[in-house]
Each structure stands twice: as C-alpha cells, then as structure tokens.
Amino acid sequence: MKIKKILSYLIPAIIILAGGVILSLAAWLAYYGIVSLVEAVFFPLDPMFVPMTLLRFLSALGLSVATFFIVRSKAHEYVKTIFVMGAVCMIVIATVISLYETLAIALGIIAVIYAVVIYFFIRFKKTWYYYLAIVYAIILGLAYSWPY
C-alpha cells in the first residue's frame, strides 16, 4: 500500500518534469527560429542590431498567453501544469539573460513573478502539481541562464 502512495506522487512529478523540460526546450527552439528569421529578413547585413531582449520577452509573453488559455480550458491537469512550467521557465530565462549584469534586479523580478503566480495558485485552489512545476521551472530556468 505504501508503494502505491509513493507512486501516486512520484509518477505525476516525473511526468510534469519531463513534459515541462520538453516544452521549455521546444519554446526555446521556437524563440531561436524567430530570432533566425528576424536576422535573415530584417538584419541580413548586421545581425548585431536584432532586438534580442524584445524577442525574448515577446516569446515568453506569447507562451504565457497560450498558457493562460490552456489553464482556463478543460485540458488535463498535467497538460496545464506542463504549460505553466514552460511559461515560467521562459520568463525566468528571458529575465536572467536580459539582466545578467544586474543579477540582484533579475532575482528580484523572478521573486515577484514567483509570488504572483503562487498567489493565483492559492486563490484558485490549484493542486500540488502546480507548485512543484514552479519550483522545477525556476530551477531549470536559473540553471540554463545563470552566468558562470
């Protein structure tokens, strides 16, 4: 009986982690595709003028808007949680990469985002999956984007 109880927590955690990582990678590849397209079409002679910060935040915003509609849909809770993880991860990555010279400000913004998301989870009585996804997203986003 104990094994079933452990598996009832472990399996969703693994599904959410794997799905969130895959969605985060897919979102980052989509961002890279957008950047490559903008470079090729609008800045073919000098790609240094590509507005990378703007493109990063627009990509994160696009995924966040999609996540908003998915969370409000009748999709399975795992799918909703995976999209929340992907969106938060993209926001963390975009914030840290854009503000890498002032990491204290970046971490402050991430803390505010974390607090707002947690507030909404509490307000709408979301399951533990969502809280776990936020922790995963912040760890993954910081691990990817932290300047070494």
Q: Where are the domains of the chain?
A: 2-145
Please classify residue 44 by burial: count the beta carbons closer than 10 Å to its beta carbon, then call 0-12 exposed, 13-18 middle and 19+ buried. exposed
pLDDT tens digit sequence for 7-52: 888 999 999 999 999 999 998 898 889 989 999 999 888 888 888 8
Locate 74 and state its tokens: 């009748």
Tokens 């998915």 belong to residue: 70
> What pLDDT score was predicted for residue 6?
86
Q: Which of 147, 146, 148, 137 is CA-nearest to residue 25? A: 137
Which pLDDT does position 148 carry in this prediction?
77
Overall pTM surpassing 0.85 (yes/no): yes
Q: For the chain, first and last CA: distance in Å?
A: 45
Name the 3-class secondary structure at 146: coil
pLDDT at 5: 87
Check whether 145 has a pLDDT greater than 80.
yes
Give pLDDT tens digits for 97-141. Answer: 989 899 999 999 999 999 999 999 999 999 999 999 999 999 999
Q: How far apart are CA 17 and CA 135, in angstroms?
A: 10
